[in-house]
Chain A
């Protein structure tokens, strides 16, 4: 691929070009750091300040008072251990459901080619066209009283896990990847007597690790970031996620403690991002646009 962009290398090589390049570069790097890292720095550092210092103007750049106790207090008062545990439980449960059911479905649609497979895929993709918020009300009513089995899923993890499977975008991504695995490879295994399950486990999954990684990260982050759905389906404070729990407790705690709680709630996804940023970036561009 050519590395040639808008500005020609010749222009850049001139002294004036060099000066301009480095000026703009410094401004952009400085500006971006301030805009995107600045608020985060403020969040983390304010978590260490005492109640008076947090609301002092002008704000202090380096905390003068150092109270790591805020983090301890946030952890205890807001029951963050419980909220964090709940969120992890919902996120990894949703991940397990999506990995098992969505991968199986995509494998079936891509390689086993069942009758009406195209129609089923079409109906799945059609859900991407319906604005998600329009479906919140009927989905909520379904959770209140699931048809046929007549169960109320309110305040149960099923209310998070089962709807998370209906991710047509994931199925589409997985199917597209499976489509690119040569059919001859699977036919050969089938001739040797391997069952479809065995083929999925021993051939398809091992070569699909990159796409499985991307889907997994987005599945976990999706549950972690969700707000409206858990707000509606998990009204019991003992069952809430970090997002909803912190929101409902936000008016009753001192500012510095709340800020410490926000920092704790942000850390897991930030860490996921810093560790897996390569996979996340490639997933964003390989998957193209999110529907």
Chain B
């Protein structure tokens, strides 16, 4: 990771404008001084802290309480594990977890491997690197409604370009989003197109940091292309690779927008119902905040391990 470069010399100019006045802290003891210093410092902090308190810390605590409460007509009652039981007994529960897991596995197969291969290939070129980088990152900048509806047209069984392409290759046409067996794969493909740019650029930056001598040494040992990738490229980028893996597991387990916009959330026979879509349904279609919170808590517990591993690894990377 490149450290930010600084040119502090410019800052010297500001001294000219500074009015000369005697430091105000000369009177009073060190206690008053430290109090004043702390008041100023907390004054600068207070705005952000209030926002965090209202929209992050308080909701965190509230999520936990919600999971064990029932709210009906403004009346809040403690129901213990009832919400969890509701969630567990919902026939959609296991299907949602299966779908989410399938999405995560497919998304990793594409979204994890493809950007890495793309980065390796781009890194080998001596021309057009800027153009290729730009292309890969382009979809990341599109608003999700635009890219998702775009894919809806590409998948259209009537006039969609994807079926045109299959026809051109002599393959049978598919009902991409309407076929329960294909719908999740279709969502993954769209999601990969939309999101792979960020990962590819991070890998590219990591690849540029590999010392060339390592490849030379490997060649002297008679290593071919794939052995060089296996014994040099991958070990040298191991930390970034594992961080990205953890991050993508955390992100893909929370998938919502893509299936929501592509298939309306549930999809054919519930084949694209994800855990987060189920949370959304409990909270905003059934007004059952307790069940939504209970399911959210399950997701949180499952992902906590990945988050902890991520924090531990990124500390290691910082040092």
A142 touches B41 (CB 8 A): no
Query: Which residues 161-183 of A have a CB within 8 angstroms of B?
Result: 162-163, 165-166, 168, 171, 176-177, 180-182
B17 touches A202 (CB 8 A): yes
How long is the Cα–Cα vector from A276 to B297 in the complex, in angstroms?
Answer: 39
A189 touches B159 (CB 8 A): no
Number of B positions contacting A (CB below 8 A): 124
Is B235 interfacial (CB 8 A cutoff)?
no
Question: What distance in Å separates the Cβ of A151 from its nearest Cβ neighbour in chain B?
Answer: 11
Tell which of B38, B125, B142 has the most Cβ of chain A within 10 Å: B142
| Residue in B62, B121, B276 whose beta carbon sits within 8 Å of that of A138 in the complex | B62
A242 touches B135 (CB 8 A): no
| Chain A neighbourhood of B314, CB < 8 A | 288-289, 291
Tell which of B58, B149, B161 has the most Cβ of chain A within 10 Å: B149
A265 touches B8 (CB 8 A): no
How long is the Cα–Cα vector from A1 to B208 in the complex, in angstroms?
Answer: 8
Query: Which residues 186-228 of A have a CB within 8 angstroms of B?
Result: 188-189, 191-194, 196, 198, 200, 202-203, 206-207, 210-211, 221, 224-225, 227-228
B159 touches A105 (CB 8 A): no
Is A23 interfacial (CB 8 A cutoff)?
no
Residue of A nearest to B300 (CB): A134
Is A141 interfacial (CB 8 A cutoff)?
yes
Is A117 interfacial (CB 8 A cutoff)?
yes
Residue of A nearest to B160 (CB): A57
Question: What distance in Å separates the Cβ of B212 from its nearest Cβ neighbour in chain A?
Answer: 3
Chain A interface, DSSP helix/strand/loop, else mixed: helix
A137 touches B47 (CB 8 A): no
| Chain B neighbourhood of A284, CB < 8 A | 198, 201-202, 205
A105 touches B59 (CB 8 A): no
| Residue in A107, A185, A263 whose beta carbon sits within 8 Å of that of B11 in the complex | A185
Is B164 interfacial (CB 8 A cutoff)?
yes
A3 touches B212 (CB 8 A): yes
Is B91 interfacial (CB 8 A cutoff)?
no
A56 touches B159 (CB 8 A): yes
Asked whether A207 and B10 contact (CB < 8 A) given A137-B63, A138-B66, the answer is yes
0 or 1 for each of B247-288: is its CB under 8 Å from A? (1 = yes) = 100100110110011000000000000001001100110000
Question: What distance in Å separates the Cβ of B56 from its nearest Cβ neighbour in chain A?
Answer: 4
How long is the Cα–Cα vector from A115 to B214 in the complex, in angstroms?
Answer: 47
How long is the Cα–Cα vector from A36 to B115 in the complex, in angstroms?
Answer: 13
| Chain A neighbourhood of B37, CB < 8 A | 112
Asked whether A36 and B133 contact (CB < 8 A) given A131-B253, A137-B293, A163-B55, the answer is no
B150 touches A39 (CB 8 A): yes
Question: What distance in Å separates the Cβ of B146 from its nearest Cβ neighbour in chain A?
Answer: 4
Asked whether A228 and B256 contact (CB < 8 A) given A40-B138, A138-B63, A266-B143, the answer is yes
Residue of B nearest to A112 (CB): B41
How long is the Cα–Cα vector from A57 to B198 in the complex, in angstroms?
Answer: 34
How long is the Cα–Cα vector from A123 to B58 in the complex, in angstroms?
Answer: 12
Tell which of B56, B122, B209, B307 has the most Cβ of chain A within 10 Å: B56
Asked whether A262 and B250 contact (CB < 8 A) given A191-B23, A228-B257, the answer is no
Is B319 interfacial (CB 8 A cutoff)?
no
| Chain B neighbourhood of A32, CB < 8 A | 132, 135-136
How long is the Cα–Cα vector from A288 to B276 in the complex, in angstroms?
Answer: 27
Asked whether A105 and B41 contact (CB < 8 A) given A6-B215, A129-B311, A285-B201, the answer is no
Residue ranges of A at the interface with B (Cβ–Cβ < 8 Å): 1-8, 24-25, 28-29, 32-33, 35-37, 39-40, 42-43, 46, 54-59, 100-102, 104-105, 107-109, 112-115, 117, 120, 123-124, 127, 129-142, 146-147, 162-163, 165-166, 168, 171, 176-177, 180-182, 185, 188-189, 191-194, 196, 198, 200, 202-203, 206-207, 210-211, 221, 224-225, 227-228, 232, 242-244, 246-247, 250, 255, 258-259, 262-263, 265-266, 269-270, 272-273, 277, 280-281, 284-286, 288-291
Residue ranges of B at the interface with A (Cβ–Cβ < 8 Å): 1-8, 10-11, 14-15, 17-24, 37-38, 40-42, 44-45, 47-49, 51-52, 54-60, 62-63, 66, 120-125, 127-128, 131-139, 141-146, 149-151, 153-154, 158-159, 161, 164, 193, 198, 201-202, 205, 207-213, 215-216, 219, 225, 228-229, 233, 240, 243-244, 247, 250, 253-254, 256-257, 260-261, 276, 279-280, 283-284, 289, 292-293, 296-297, 299-300, 303-304, 307-308, 310-311, 314, 317
List 28 contacting pairs A-B, 8 Å CB cutoff, sorted by A: A6-B120, A28-B125, A36-B193, A57-B158, A105-B45, A108-B42, A108-B45, A115-B42, A123-B52, A129-B308, A131-B250, A131-B307, A135-B63, A137-B63, A138-B293, A139-B55, A142-B58, A142-B59, A166-B48, A166-B51, A168-B52, A185-B8, A193-B19, A227-B145, A243-B145, A269-B142, A270-B141, A284-B201
